[in-house]
A and B are shown apart, each in its own frame.
Chain A
Amino acid sequence: MTAPTLSTDTLFHEIPIGSHPGMLVPARVYADDALWREIAEGHALDQLCNVAALPGVEQRVYGMPDMHEGYGFPVGGVAATRVSDGVISPGGVGYDINCGVRLLTSSVTLARVAPRLESLVHELSRSIPSGGYANPRLSLDAAGLDAVLREGSRSLLGRGLATADDLAHTEAGGALEEADPDAVSVRAKQRGHDQLGTLGSGNHFVEVEVVDQVLDPVAAAAYGLVEGRLAVLIHTGSRGLGHQVCTDYVRLMLGLLPGWKIQLPDRQLACAPLAEPEGQRYFAAMCAAANFAFANRQVITAAVRDAFGAVLGTAAGLQVCYDVAHNMAKLERHDGTELCVHRKGATRAFGPAHPETPAAYRGIGQPVFIPGSMGTASWVLAGTDEALALSFGSACHGAGRALSRTAARAAASGAQIRRTLEGQGIVVRCPSARGLAEEAPLAYKDVERVVGVVHEAGLARKVARLRPIGVIKG
């Protein structure tokens, strides 16, 4: 690949068409010099350039500042394809469909909870199944699961698990209308039927945070963020159900590519024309899995409320600030063209004027969450209208991994990580010592630097900084 052009004024690196075989559009990566060096070390740039070769890809593909090597798409990659003659790629969404982050704000101060923090984290870990544990309180029969797949969080209304206000503060109201449960295989349903309200493994977590610093008082007030008060971040997705949907459709599409005369540089980029029945069917299945993920985070929200109530004795005023996906393909209109915007490890960052910004946040911009890594800060930002032109209205989804899991384990044991975090006053619960070591803060990029690029590049603007005090890892 030829050397990219650096724009030092705007914090992006441009990779022109022709730098890599098959590119139909240029690629742009938002990064400062230090982040760029990290990104360029692996295969993430090659992967991003491969994405630029997808049929019907529009304008430009983007890499976010947390971008790192993934499979097919890089993690932190954004690509839009034309609905008219483009494709949809399950690999561009990933196996964990609608993996996403939800932030709950509260009326509880750190001073009030501090003496009972250990009990609170214990109660959260006890009431939210993690690792491979199923939810013993909510195994769904076939009709119940189909209702979740069709209606997402809306299916939980009236059951003490969701409120209308929760749904109003969830992307798409927590229910994608295009979902079709019949497009989801029996196998996927078998994997998911007892997983609603569970965290899963890997980098998924529930974190208790304290609002450490407010940088934009107006936006923070709209979001319900007050310095010194607690908040809760929930990071999980569609669990085994979503994984199986991706597995099923990648396999299906690979067999059909020759008939569509589509040649790809990487089989994980398997795709289907959006105009073909298989493309539409995947989209309907993906939306169903996404609804499962919205409902999953909603059920966990109910468990968090119960845990706070049990430990503190009173309602903690836990409100959904927002719930946003970072593994998803969405149909959106940009510059007058209907596009399918794939965000793989990237989140929407719609601004104050965007019609899909929730009503409560018009004039502010939608909340954008960039979690750190257990021992480091997480950030709340606000989407900008400028981001539409900069990145199809997208920002990054986290700090981004810097070390492999093997290297992270070699650097520090789970016990060492636990002691370090506890030394910082952070209470940790994790079912796996190995998992704790693999998700250590040192395995991730510097979140302050990543957020700085997002802010300076205009993808989203800083609102508030959160500091972790309790961590439940998947």
Chain B
Amino acid sequence: MAEERVAPQVAIPEPSGGSGGGSRSPGGGQGPGRMTMSFAPHASFEHLPHVGELRLRLRGASIADVLGQAALALADVLLPERPPAGPERVHEIVLDAPDRAALLIDWLNELLFLAERDRWLPSRIDLHEATETHLRATARGPVLECAPSLVKAATWHGLRFEVGDGGFEAEVLLDI
């Protein structure tokens, strides 16, 4: 049976050139209804090998790009196999962390908390601010029939969030 799933949309504060360049893991699929994303052409996420959990590699031209890709990757894992149909719910999210890697973990764990508590999945995220240590976002999405509970947490194991010539790259492990 074909999966009818709706991808989230992420808007970042300063589009870093180009659009529609978001890419997915080979297994992520591109089901009907997926939206265009506003990222640099090379902004992406992919799944890396791990025997028990899910390791993600995230790339982008900016911290906001990477945080946006993290939300997309998480939503891709959490998307239910039945299309969401509930009313929309909006969350204003403000986070402060000691460094960008910690900010990435806090961001993912905040989305996981909201998803489980409110049986909710983000379908659009507006990242208003995203610096080394601070994030402000508006996340909106449908209330679901049941909580998207597959991911327990974003972990600190093997966490990295580095800047290089090609932009930013992060790796994070999700506990399944």
Contacts and interface: CB of A to CB of B under 8 A. Distances in A.
Nearest to A198: B149
Contacts of A17: none
Given A131-B146, A191-B117, A405 B176 contact: yes
Interface stretch (B10-18, B30-38, B155-163): B155-163
A426 interface: no
A70 B81 contact: no
B116 A240 contact: yes
Given A134-B146, A407-B49, A433-B1, 14 more contacts: A68-B52, A71-B155, A91-B156, A131-B149, A187-B117, A191-B113, A202-B176, A244-B113, A247-B109, A247-B153, A266-B156, A267-B159, A270-B156, A435-B150
B150 A201 contact: yes
B43 interface: no
Interface stretch (A101-109, A307-315, A396-404, A452-460): A396-404
Interface in A26-46: 42
B153 A70 contact: no
Given A71-B173, A190-B117, A255-B98, A240 B149 contact: yes
Contacts of A401: 51-52
B137 to A, nearest CB: 18
Given A187-B113, A191-B116, A402-B51, A96 B152 contact: yes
A207 B86 CA distance: 33
B53 A71 contact: yes
A96 B81 CA distance: 24
Contacts of A190: 117
A69 B159 CA distance: 15
Interface core residue of A69, A71, A75, A187 (most chain B CB under 10 Å): A71
B109 to A, nearest CB: 5
A42 B157 contact: no
B2 to A, nearest CB: 11
A200 B149 CA distance: 7
Contacts of B158: 71, 266
Contacts of A187: 113, 117
A81 B83 CA distance: 48
B149 A42 contact: no
Interface in A45-80: 68-72, 75
Given A134-B146, A243-B152, A255-B98, A405 B54 contact: yes
Interface in B5-28: 25, 27
A255 B96 CA distance: 13
A374 B66 CA distance: 38
A91 B149 CA distance: 20
26 contacts: A69-B50, A70-B52, A70-B53, A71-B53, A71-B157, A132-B116, A190-B117, A200-B149, A202-B176, A239-B149, A240-B149, A247-B113, A247-B153, A251-B106, A254-B156, A266-B156, A266-B158, A267-B157, A268-B155, A401-B51, A401-B52, A406-B25, A409-B27, A410-B27, A433-B1, A434-B81
Contacts of B42: none
A201 B156 contact: no
B141 interface: no
A421 to B, nearest CB: 19
Interface in B114-153: 116-117, 119, 144, 146-150, 152-153
A243 B81 contact: no
A409 B28 CA distance: 12
Main secondary structure, interface of B, reads loop
A340 interface: no
Interface string A150-178: 00000000000000000000000000000
Interface in A246-286: 246-247, 250-251, 254-255, 266-268, 270
Contact of B156 (A239, A267, A432): A267
B149 A403 contact: no
B148 A71 contact: no
Interface in B51-68: 51-54
Contacts of A246: 153
A78 to B, nearest CB: 17
B88 interface: no
Contacts of B153: 95, 243, 246-247
Interface string A6-27: 0000000000000000000000
Given A95-B175, A131-B146, A268 B52 contact: no
A410 B106 CA distance: 31
Contacts of B144: 132
A240 to B, nearest CB: 5
B156 to A, nearest CB: 4
Contacts of B150: 132, 201-202, 435
B92 to A, nearest CB: 16
Contacts of B147: 132-134, 240
Contacts of B109: 247
Given A95-B175, A267-B159, A42 B51 contact: yes
A443 to B, nearest CB: 9
Contacts of B152: 95-96, 202, 243
Interface core residue of A132, A134, A187, A268 (most chain B CB under 10 Å): A132
A75 B155 CA distance: 14
Contacts of A75: 52
Contacts of A68: 51-52
Given A200-B149, A240-B149, A405-B176, A69 B155 contact: no
Interface in A401-424: 401-407, 409-410
Given A202-B176, A240-B149, A406 B27 contact: yes
